[in-house]
Chain A
Amino acid sequence: MHERLSFYVHRDSPLHRLNPLTKLTMVFAFILLSFGSPWYWTPHILIVLVILPLSFIGRVQREYLLTAARLIFPAAGFLFLMQSLFQPIGQTVWFRWWVLEVTHEAVAFAFVNAARIIVMVSSFTLLLLTTHPSELMSDLTRRGLPSQFAYVIISTLQIIPQMQAKAQTIIAAQRSRGLDTQSSFVKRVGALVPLVGPLVFGSLVEVEERAIAIEARGFTSSHAKTSLREIPDSRFDQILRGALIVSVLLAFVSRLWLS
């Protein structure tokens, strides 16, 4: 936990060595493809044949699969269930139960939607796991993104692990004062209420202090920024970005064509 800044896993892999913008393009290309492609199985194919292998290429398969098992698949599964049950579309009724009607069309719709969610969250997860926040920030500002905007992205990326760490501290402190965090679920949820205040208000004061601290280091300086790290942007990066954009365009064009 300690040596960990945001989600980034410090390793050497082809995915780590890609330019941050290339990876960002990849994320958006996957998302656009999974929503925009005319072919029903696109998101499913992306998950199995692209995202999963990429996690191995990036040498972050363990971290990715853990996140997928704990967070992404349960959430997508829930979405699938809800949409299958409550989506009032379709005629081909598979079965009826009470007021619920499960139709072939609703299940098909839910199945593709769940896959799209998985593509979306998974590709962002892979980006975060293999991209150093500071490289992403430097690269984007170098390409003309306002630095304030870049900073918001970067600090949001790492606020979650920080909040986790802080919540742990607060929980430990409250528990030592007799707070119950280990019994039944309802009790535990109730017991979490006292944690919200310190977590949120602490954060607001912190935001001001943080702003002062980075301002004291010339963050909004009008000089053009420089960067300590050299960020690679190879020929391969450029070609890959081009290919991704072209494939998205093709998907959208063929969709228009077919409709």
Chain B
Amino acid sequence: MAIVTLQNVTYKYPLTEAPVLQNVNLQVNEGEFVAVIGPNGAGKSTLCYTLAGFVPHFFKGELTGIVEVAGVETHQSSLNEWVLNVGLAFQNPFNQISGAKYTVFEEIAFGLENIGVPRGEMKPRVEKALALTGISDLADRSPYSLSGGQQQRVALTSILVMEPKVLVLDEPTSQMDPIGTREVFGVIRTMAERGMTVVLAEHKVEWIAAFADRVVALKDGQVLLDGKPGEVLTSPLLEEAGFGISRYTSTARKAKEMGLWKKDQLPVTLEEAVEGFRS
């Protein structure tokens, strides 16, 4: 069952000349994990904002086509209602901290306070969310005293505690060091395993290959490819179009030209490469 549907979506920011999204068609099924890749300026963030309702409700501009989540059309809804269905987290963890709270626990409760959850329900919900993302031990710390990876996990928890139907993540690890990246992907993996519907814009293709059910390649606001990670991430079209691709894929492609790679399928991750060269 499709929970997210985009039909012929075209969008232009108030100040841009050309559309930033052009005729985008996309369906995401319930429980599916879809990764969105694309070079800089391809429109990944804009797509995320569209899914999360900030386009058009926050950014204004011209949006045509149909954007539907859980059976509701974006034009028929308000941002306030929309954010209850779609949670959004993005790159800079520092800017996602409300700035009004003293501890991580209070920070995570902020969203619940806003939507009027009674005090008695708040505590168990925050505790559950903290346990889910594995940051219960940070509960009493100040959000500003944390590392980037920890802050980003707090940001994710702050969204998850609101129990959205769809989670939209815009390059949540782009400002993380390798440790932070691993921490954040740990949380994303938990979400995926629990059957959460996730749309993730991300550059790090090796992580995508490990997690995603499907990959959408975006270029100049248009969908270039949409398919299984193994197919999309190894497509020769990507490199031509200026996408960052896995070094294992490019190595194996060279090896294939020289007759050293025997399989049809090219690898994306180290494991796949090792396995392929062995056989």
A residues touching B (Cβ–Cβ < 8 Å)? 2-5, 8, 10, 132-134, 137-138, 147, 151, 154-155, 158, 162, 206, 209-230
Contact = CB atoms under 8 A, between A and B. Distances in A.
Contacts of B178: none
Contact of B102 (A8, A206, A210, A230): A8
B277 interface: no
B159 A217 contact: yes
B100 interface: yes
A151 B96 CA distance: 15
Contacts of B117: 226
> SS class of chain A's interface: helix, strand, loop or mixed?
loop
The 7 closest A-B pairs by CB, nearest first: A223-B116, A217-B111, A218-B114, A209-B95, A213-B96, A228-B109, A218-B115
A3 B142 CA distance: 6
Nearest to A225: B113
Contacts of A10: 102
A154 B100 contact: yes
A226 B119 contact: yes
A162 B114 CA distance: 24
Interface stretch (B4-12, B67-75, B83-91): B83-91
B80 A221 contact: yes
A196 to B, nearest CB: 20
Given A2-B145, A212-B54, A137 B100 contact: yes
A243 to B, nearest CB: 30
A158 B145 contact: no
Interface residues of B, number: 43
Interface SS, B side:
helix
Given A217-B114, A220-B80, A223-B115, 4 more contacts: A2-B142, A212-B90, A226-B116, A226-B122
B88 A154 contact: no
Nearest to A211: B58
A228 B113 contact: yes
Nearest to A161: B144
B204 interface: no
Contacts of B49: 212
B111 A218 contact: yes
Contacts of A215: 54, 58, 79, 83
Interface in B46-105: 49, 52, 54, 58, 79-80, 83-84, 87-90, 92, 95-102, 105
Most chain A CB atoms below 10 A, which of B101, B106, B117, B122: B101
A3 B106 contact: no
Interface centre among A2, A155, A217 (most CB of B within 10 A): A217
Nearest to A138: B113
Contacts of B105: 228
Interface in B101-137: 101-102, 105-106, 109-119, 122-123
A16 to B, nearest CB: 12
A132 B107 CA distance: 13
Contacts of A134: 100-102, 106
